[in-house]
Chains A and B, each alone.
Chain A
Amino acid sequence: MNETKIITNNVNVYYGEKQALHNVSMNMQANEVTALIGPSGCGKSTFIRCLNRMNDVIDTCKVEGTITIDGYDIYSKETSVEKLRERVGMVFQKPNPFPKSIYENVAYGPKIHGIANNKNELDEIVENSLKQAAIFDEVKDRLHEPGTALSGGQQQRLCIARAISVNPDIILMDEPCSALDPIATARIEELMEELKKDYTIVIVTHSMQQAARVSTKTGFFHMGNLVEVDKTEVIFSNPSNKKTQDYITGRFG
């Protein structure tokens, strides 16, 4: 078993009066894909957005409990969200490239963090990120065309390239394939297989098959509770909780 990368301990999340997550405690290992499944509105997206503090944008959102990455409490006062998000990248449900060129989409992160010292280094980072996201060959001749002109699957891989351009440790994926067709989905799944060698991946998915295919560990969320978390084989073959059993067999959700 790989070393533990992310530890969450008794995480409670409130949107105003409403509590969205109840005492979620789970660990995520480095260089593994951890999948979060559950019916709509169960809190899995809320949970994943706590890991890079994207919930900070919502005024009414309040997070309790501790989340540590490599032993550092990311909700401590000293944490800078900008630095945190540099190390914890995110890919969203709907592909959201900037309405700029493919090159600029990938170069933006390195530019604002001052990672590249000159144009050549930046070019190299862009090329490597696109290669790692398995899209370089498709776009190498049109790096300066708008990223929004690509197909949905290509856009999503471009967003993955953008996420890895700042050299993060962790990539969070919030239903990255829900807007894609099966072929594009298959490509992203292959890509995850490659990426987990270098990154820790946490993926939220609606598709149980996808969770079964790509993840090492799976957590099942229901009504804001983490019902069960275990090795993926165990969750899908021999879950210990009745609700998990019902969900994976399609009795609700």
Chain B
Amino acid sequence: MSFVNLNDNNLQKRLSREFRFKVYCIMAMTFALGFVLFLFTSIFSTGYSAFYKTMIPIEISLSSVVSDSNSFALMTNEEINDLSIYSLSKKNIYNLFPNITDRKEKKEILKIFSYEFEDEIKNFLKDNKENINDINIIYLTASDDIDQLHKGNFPRDIPEKRRRLSDLQLSFYDELILENKIETEFNFPFFTRGDSREPELAGIGGALAGSFFTIIVVLILSLPFGLLAAIYLQEFAPQNKFTDFIEININNLAAVPSIVFGLLGLGILLNTFGMPRSTALVGGVTLSLMTLPTIIIATRAALRAVPPSIREAALAVGATRMQAVMHHVVPVAMPGSLTGAIIGIAQALGETAPLLLIGMVAFVVDVPSTPVDPSASLPVQIYLWAESAERGFVEKTSATIMMLLGLLIILNLTAVIIRRKFETKW
């Protein structure tokens, strides 16, 4: 029979063409996947160590500060803050290496610790007021250089002059390792602290809070305005030149480069209205302008996809136009519209350029507690740290990217889940 004839030249050609096409498709897909995989592994492999910090336990005796160690229990936190224990702390730290006697060399011992060691000791006192002994073991944060050395990111084999750690400090480290006195723990402060000039103390708490407040402002502004504008334009507005003009402008607005919105925020919000510089409030308003067209376009597309027969059905039983829209059309369009909104919010979360112009690029140590406090945001924090020279900031940059990617993935997953769950089944 003719249909079993596999020697048909034309058919062979068609089949091999199909095969080649499939191969190209798979190659393209593999390339894209490989690229993403490469990006993720490179970020993950440099960033994961930022979630750990290096600690050095030291013995601290505080008996000379107060008459008896029980009296800490009676002190308020303020009183503990006012204690002057700096030189005492230093002495205790020097005791770590009792055979170092030279003053200059003693100073080198201090440099293997974070410069905030006094605060760390005071925090320990505040947290353990009730059970302070004559001698206490306190874990102090190691300096960035020791931290990086311990994580294996610090090359030891280059000449001393070109190293940030001296030979002496390296010998301290080796001695501590031998005595088992270097430990790593989960870097909890990384998530709660603000920015710092010292990598071992810097955290993304400030950036997280800044991003959070910014997104809240974006949500409050762009979601209601976007939904209402889209519903009006799609369902109620008459079809005329004026509405066409508005539609074209909204589409154009969505294509405007984000830095232009930053200039707008700088010119109008900061200079004309005098709103506070570097704050999440201004950042949020600026980003809302960017998110608004995305939400309007997505919502209009979702509304347009609702079959007109539903509107007619509602109108035919005597519903007003608003009832037809609000009771029947909007609920069907909601999943699509919310998906668009979430994608808009995700864009806003990752946006950097406009925030640079309105001053959210400032170095902010305090974690903002309101939208009108100066703050950074996650992408700006990445930008700031990526510029810093210290090796400690390199891993922190990657860790921040991981956090941002994680948040974006969560947002996009939410969009998918909303769409799956609330989509109208016909």
Contacts and interface: CB of A to CB of B under 8 A. Distances in A.
B316 interface: yes
A59 B239 contact: yes
Given A83-B318, A92-B312, A98 B328 contact: yes
B41 interface: no
A215 interface: no
Contact of B319 (A82, A97, A99, A148): A82
B310 A96 contact: yes
A159 interface: yes
Contacts of B318: 82-86, 109, 112-113, 166
A98 B313 contact: yes
A163 B316 contact: yes
A148 to B, nearest CB: 5
B3 interface: no
Contacts of A22: none
A108 B312 contact: no
B310 A92 contact: no
A82 B320 contact: yes
Interface in A139-193: 146, 148, 159, 162-163, 165-166
B332 to A, nearest CB: 6
Interface in A70-101: 82-86, 89-90, 92, 94, 96-99
A100 B373 CA distance: 47
B408 interface: no
B425 A90 contact: no
Contact of A90 (B316, B320, B323, B424): B316
Contact of A148 (B311, B317, B323, B426): B426
Interface in B146-170: none
Interface in A195-242: none
A1 interface: no
A59 B314 CA distance: 18
A85 B310 CA distance: 15
Nearest to B309: A96
B145 to A, nearest CB: 64
Contacts of B312: 54, 57, 90, 92, 96
Nearest to B424: A99
A8 interface: no
Contacts of A165: 317
Nearest to A99: B424
B80 interface: no
Interface in B324-343: 327-328, 332
Interface residues of A, number: 28
Contacts of B238: 59
A86 B426 contact: no
Given A98-B310, A99-B310, A57 B315 contact: yes
Given A99-B310, A148-B425, A162 B315 contact: no
A165 B309 CA distance: 19
A31 B152 CA distance: 93
A89 B317 contact: yes
Nearest to B239: A59
B98 interface: no
A113 B318 CA distance: 8
Given A85-B316, A92-B309, A166-B318, A112 B424 contact: no
B274 interface: no
A35 to B, nearest CB: 20
Q: Is the interface of B mostly helix, strand, loop or mixed?
A: helix
A69 to B, nearest CB: 14
A163 B320 CA distance: 16
Interface centre among A83, A85, A96 (most CB of B within 10 A): A96
A52 interface: yes
Contacts of B319: 82, 108, 112
Contacts of B307: 96
A249 to B, nearest CB: 34
B314 A98 contact: yes
Nearest to B306: A99
Contacts of B311: 57
Contacts of B310: 96, 98-99
Contacts of B316: 52, 54, 85, 89-90, 92, 163
Contacts of A97: 313
B426 to A, nearest CB: 5
B425 A86 contact: no
B425 A99 contact: yes
Contacts of A146: 425
B426 A99 contact: yes
A54 B315 contact: yes
Contacts of B323: 112
B313 A162 contact: yes
A43 B312 CA distance: 19
A7 B310 CA distance: 29
Interface string A36-77: 000000000000000010100101000000000000000000
Nearest to A159: B313
Contacts of A166: 317-318
A83 B320 CA distance: 10
Interface of B: 238-239, 307, 309-320, 323, 327-328, 332, 424-426
Interface of A: 52, 54, 57, 59, 82-86, 89-90, 92, 94, 96-99, 108-109, 112-113, 146, 148, 159, 162-163, 165-166
Minimum-distance CB pairs A-B, first 7: A96-B309, A109-B317, A86-B318, A90-B316, A85-B318, A99-B424, A96-B313
Given A57-B311, A96-B312, A98-B313, 13 more contacts: A54-B315, A86-B317, A86-B318, A90-B312, A94-B309, A96-B313, A99-B310, A99-B332, A99-B426, A108-B317, A108-B319, A109-B317, A148-B426
19 contacts: A54-B315, A57-B312, A85-B315, A85-B316, A86-B317, A92-B312, A92-B316, A96-B310, A97-B313, A98-B314, A98-B328, A99-B332, A99-B424, A112-B317, A112-B319, A159-B313, A162-B313, A165-B317, A166-B318
